[in-house]
Amino acid sequence: MENKEPTYKLKGQFICFNGEFIRKSELNISLNNRAFKYGDGVFETIRVIKKEALFYSEHLKRLSLALELLKIDFSIDFLKTELKQNIVRLLNANKFFSGARIRITVFRSGEGLYTPTNNKMEYLIEASELENEYYTLNKRGLNIGIYNEVKITYSEFSNFKTLNSLQYILAGIYKKQNSFDDCILVNNSNNLIEGISSNLFILKNNILYTTGAQSGCIEGVMKNIVIDIALSKSMTVFDEALLTENDLLTADEVFMTNVISGVQWVLSYKKKRYYNKFSRVLISELNKLV
């Protein structure tokens, strides 16, 4: 059957479910859906500029490693070609032609209790329009806090975006209750790990510090890109740092990174105030890559 391009009149109303383009209101999820029942899957968020999925190979690598770990059957050729094509088709259907955010959720098909009946892959692609086409630095710096009520424990799963996000949800509630812009999560050793949806960087005396995979943080695509940019500027980078609250209180600059926002500079933690000099450099360098 010919795979025709979807043609729709409404903007922003459509999703792609297992290759079928439907309205959001038409999505029908079974009670036996394993993503719903067991959180049996992973997701990736990707930034798009002019229908080009940025850093797609890096996202593909992380997604492939996660699916291998979860023992969900997948085809690398499908991820490289058809999945990427469906992202573009969804952008066309929603009439998103400049900046957009893509979320790909991949989960195990089939029924069963804890033991699945099969390991086949299903997927859902969602798209939302972004206000800015290219990366821009936040005008108002973030005010951050530390969330330590539920701590992150390192495991083989902690470096991926799994469908179990309870720590981040609770951190988000804590952020809202305390009127913070973001919160830093900690691990069982009380080391600072990451933000709710971003990696943490601390700059002090022209040395850049961030946490590594063994700390329990998600290995962000943008994190590694920022490290490469810093190294290209002949900066010293410690990418397996054990960060504490004292590092926040003595830092010259603090910023958060993810592929959607790029870099967000932090203005304050408690009474400490920070600069944003290197954050501005990073935004400029990121826009040279896209």
**Confidence at residue 1, expressed as pLDDT on a 0 to 100 scale:** 43
For residue 16, the one-letter residue type is C
Q: How many CB atoms lie within 10 A of CB 24?
A: 11
- Do 159 and 37 lie in a common domain? no
Task: For residue range 117-149, list pLDDT tens digits in order.
Answer: 999 999 999 999 999 999 999 999 999 999 999
Task: For residue range 22-55, list pLDDT tens digits in order.
Answer: 999 999 988 899 999 999 999 999 999 999 999 9
CB 27 within 8 A of CB 15: yes
Report the share of the chain in percent with pLDDT over 70.
97
**Confidence at residue 9, expressed as pLDDT on a 0 to 100 scale:** 58
Please, what sign has the CA dihedral across residues 287, 62, 261, 83? positive
Confidence bin at 188 (pLDDT 50/70/90):
very high
Confidence bin at 198 (pLDDT 50/70/90):
very high
**Confidence at residue 7, expressed as pLDDT on a 0 to 100 scale:** 54
pLDDT of residue 220 exceeding 70: yes
Hunting for tokens 């959720």 — which residue is that? 105
- Do 24 and 85 lie in a common domain? yes
**Confidence at residue 277, expressed as pLDDT on a 0 to 100 scale:** 97
Calpha distance 27→260 (Å, rounded): 25
CATH number for the domain spanning 220: value is 3.20.10.10
Confidence bin at 12 (pLDDT 50/70/90):
confident
- Do 273 and 147 lie in a common domain? yes
CATH number for the domain spanning 40: value is 3.30.470.10
- Do 208 and 240 lie in a common domain? yes
- Do 45 and 120 lie in a common domain? yes
Is 121 part of any domain? Answer: yes
Task: For residue range 93-125, list pLDDT tens digits in order.
Answer: 999 999 999 999 999 998 899 999 999 999 999
- Do 281 and 221 lie in a common domain? yes
- Do 122 and 148 lie in a common domain? no
Range of the domain at 184: 142-289
Confidence bin at 279 (pLDDT 50/70/90):
very high
**Confidence at residue 166, expressed as pLDDT on a 0 to 100 scale:** 96
**Confidence at residue 2, expressed as pLDDT on a 0 to 100 scale:** 47
Provide the mean pLDDT of the chain. 95
Hunting for tokens 């944003």 — which residue is that? 276
Calpha distance 283→288 (Å, rounded): 9
Calpha distance 237→257 (Å, rounded): 15
- Do 226 and 166 lie in a common domain? yes
- Do 240 and 109 lie in a common domain? no
**Confidence at residue 268, expressed as pLDDT on a 0 to 100 scale:** 98
Angle between helices 221-232 and 277-289 (to 10 degrees): 110
CB 135 within 8 A of CB 263: yes
pLDDT of residue 5 exceeding 70: no
Confidence bin at 10 (pLDDT 50/70/90):
low
Task: For residue range 51-78, list pLDDT tens digits in order.
Answer: 999 999 999 999 999 999 999 999 999 9
Is 152 part of any domain? Answer: yes
Calpha distance 74→111 (Å, rounded): 18
Confidence bin at 3 (pLDDT 50/70/90):
low
Q: How many CB atoms lie within 10 A of CB 130?
A: 16
